[in-house]
Amino acid sequence: MTNPIRVAVSGAAGQIAYSMLFRIASGDVFGKDRPVQLQLLEIPPAMGALEGVVMELDDCAFPLLSDVVISDNPEVAFDGISWAWLVGSRPRGPGMERSDLIQANGPIFVGQGQALNKAADDVRIMVVGNPCNTNCLIAMSNSDVSNDRFSAMMRLDQNRSQSLLASKAGVPVSQVTNMAVWGNHSNNQYPDFENALIGGKPATEVITDKSWLQGEFINDIQNRGATVIKARGASSAASAANAALEHVVSMENATPANDWFSAAICSDGQYGVDKGLVFGYPMRNDGNGNNSIVEGLQMSDFAKKQFDNVHDELRQERDVVKDLL
């Protein structure tokens, strides 16, 4: 058997992690022949609950799960890892503004960014804990790990968009491809229906109701998280976990021909975005470990307005945390 891949998950006693860990341990992400060592990070009050999660992992007797380490110290949890899912963060409390949340969570990602220096040379990091783009920016800015190893999750937004377009068009979801979600995982994100394809044709040729695409579609995707909370009484967990795993699978494996996936990565100025912002882009993996932004996509004036709006939002978030960068 090959050496186990060591992976860290923070917020490991939380809802999203509970839907992730068992799938990672069963080989859904790194393959059915690659052993995995889980290194789970929590805060001290949640260590008891985390021990219960470990009991359940043990009780599954996963052949690929070589070991489970638990800790409330990021330096222990990140030691020698090749992937980190940074899921843990403080949820938004009653009356909290987005900027309050950003300020409350920022310091977590300063410490975790520094602790990532303990990781293996090939480490990649993906941030789920909200506000995930700006938390990723903070972790990246406080770490010696190079910027191109960091990413934040837009995949749930991509999946939601594909599902809604498929249902409107009356086709299986597998028919909807090339779904780019630009910018921020927030209610200003821009799910780009203009460049999406349905059954290989432009989505705008299949769904000709332009006012639905520009109005209800975008609005429903931007607010889907809140709609799930209202219905379920809790935020998206299984779908977020699924998206977090798919994000890593996409970053580790060749992207199917003529398609792309959405992820937020450190901008190098592509599409006019400020260098250094963690911005949602369409991406491709070449099958040799390289992930790159799909360049040259066209945008209408309508799309540019959405794009500029979410770009401004990320600049404002960067300003709120400037002391942590």
Is residue 139 near ligand NAX by the rule CB under 6 A?
A: no
Work out which of 70, 108, 138, 265 binds ligand NAX, going by CB under 6 A: 108
In whole angstroms, the minimum distance from the beta carbon of 49 to ligand NAX comes to: 7
Which one from 6, 160, 185, 247 is the annotated catalytic residue? 185
In whole angstroms, the minimum distance from the beta carbon of 304 to ligand NAX comes to: 24
Identity of the residue, 106 or 129, whose beta carbon is nearer to ligand NAX in the bound complex: 129
Q: Which long-range contacts link 298-306 to residues 24+ away (Cβ below 8 Å)?
A: 298/194, 298/195, 299/192, 299/194, 300/194, 302/214, 303/190, 303/192, 303/194, 306/182, 306/190, 306/218
Within 8 A by CB and 6+ apart from 228, the residues are: 235, 236, 239
Per the structure block, which two tokens stand in for 235? 């935020």
Cis amide linkage into residue 4, ω under 30° from 0: no
- Angle at the Cα of 64 from the Cα atoms of 60 and 68, rounded to 5 degrees: 70
Work out which of 66, 99, 235, 270 binds ligand NAX, going by CB under 6 A: 235
In whole angstroms, the minimum distance from the beta carbon of 127 to ligand NAX comes to: 8
Which among 15, 29, 87 has a CA at the least distance from the CA of 62?
A: 29
Q: How many residues bind ligand NAX (CB under 6 A)?
A: 29
**With contact defined as beta carbons under 8 Å apart, do 189 and 280 qualify?**
yes
Work out which of 5, 6, 9, 10 binds ligand NAX, going by CB under 6 A: 10
Is residue 191 near ligand NAX by the rule CB under 6 A?
A: no
Is residue 88 near ligand NAX by the rule CB under 6 A?
A: yes
311: annotated active-site residue: no
Q: Which one of the spans 12-20, 160-168, 200-208, 266-274 is the region binding ligand NAX (CB under 6 A)?
A: 12-20
In whole angstroms, the minimum distance from the beta carbon of 296 to ligand NAX comes to: 27
Strand partners, 180: 192
**With contact defined as beta carbons under 8 Å apart, do 64 and 32 qualify?**
yes
Q: Are strands 201-202 and 291-293 parallel, antiparallel or unpaired?
A: unpaired
Q: Could you list the residues that contact ligand NAX (CB under 6 A)?
A: 10-11, 13-17, 41-43, 46, 87-91, 108, 128-130, 132, 153, 156, 185, 225, 235-237, 240
